[in-house]
Amino acid sequence: MHSTSESWARRVPMPHQNIGLRGDQYIQAVLNRNPNELQRDVSNGSACIPAVMGSLRRTVIRPTHNHGVHPYIASNRHNYPWFEKSLGALDGTKILAVTLARLSNTYRNHYNRIAQNVLCLCDFDMKFPFVYTGWEGTTHDARVFLDALSRAQNGFPWPEPGYYYLVDSAFPCIQKFMPPYPRERYYRSDHYGARQFRSYKDYFNFRHSSLPNVIERTFALLKNRFQILEAMPRYSPNKQGMILTTCCTLHNLIKTITLNDEFIQHALGLQFNGQNMPGGEDVGSTEEVVDMSHESAGTMVAQRDGITIPMWENLNGDECVLHIF
């Protein structure tokens, strides 16, 4: 005689992802099974859980703001109208990892910790529209960037014409990716007074630096909620990447449906105060080619100058125009 659980498993078999059962339909099919069986599957690490999270990831890790001015930009006079075409910030971040001893040097970062280099896109809602895992901690951000954007299967959410993501100086200056000016002060701690800017480039870098740190705040929120990211289990590199992606998926979901969550409210309070915290189908992606040409760089330089010079004039008055060239 078969047990009750075996009988139930025969009556309600594990759904498979196929052409007739996709996205939220697959999630509902899994969740509508017997609650006891579902709980047992979760506890035993059933294969249905990665499948559900895969479907959920494609639904919630995607852009939610593709055009127009984001409210966070519009509500801040230091950001609007200067950064009205910005859709978020792209950066690499280090997540603790576990690896074989013979491979440890390739994962060891400048803090002498074993880590993986993860390329993340964060929007101004503190969500992750794109997460790319799998690179060793010693890999330069620019290399991960080019690999992520060069593979169409990664589904990178390219901005519409005229829009861009903010990046730091580790990334190339090309269309749709706006870095700070090189060879100028960048971090906000490098500036010691609102009227002590040396040039229009210096002032732009100061304003630019206040926006990409949304990634730092978002990851601080993520790590505070999911402690597993600070003590990664001894899984394969692929599974470690899946753990991070799953955490980002759940973060986006919680951020979307639970606006009053205490972690989120604390993070939003720090975001609007300009502080740092302690510690479906893929939509919006198109098959584009990374344009590393001089023309692409020139287009971004012109777009950046088109923001910077009026912003500098607005700060100091028209007389400063004589000093910017």
Distance CA(92)–CA(120), nearest Å, equals: 6
Indicate whether 276 pLDDT > 60. Answer: no
Nearest to 66 by CA among 121, 120, 29: 121
Domain residue ranges in the chain: 4-60, 71-323
Indicate whether 28 pLDDT > 70. Answer: no
Indicate whether 9 pLDDT > 90. Answer: no
Would you tell me the crossing angle of helices 237-257 and 214-225 to the nearest 10 degrees?
100
Between 74 and 261, where is the model more confident? 74
**Range with top average pLDDT, 83-92, 247-256, 261-270:** 83-92
Tens-place pLDDT, residues 147-203: 999 999 999 999 999 999 999 999 999 999 999 999 888 766 555 555 578 889 999
Give all strands of the β-sheet with 164-166 in edge-to-edge order: 130-136, 115-122, 86-96, 164-166, 177-178
DSSP classification of residue 33: S
pLDDT band per the 50, 70, 90 thresholds, residue 287: low
Instruction: Decide: pTM greater than 0.95.
Output: no
265-278: average pLDDT: 47
pLDDT band per the 50, 70, 90 thresholds, residue 32: low
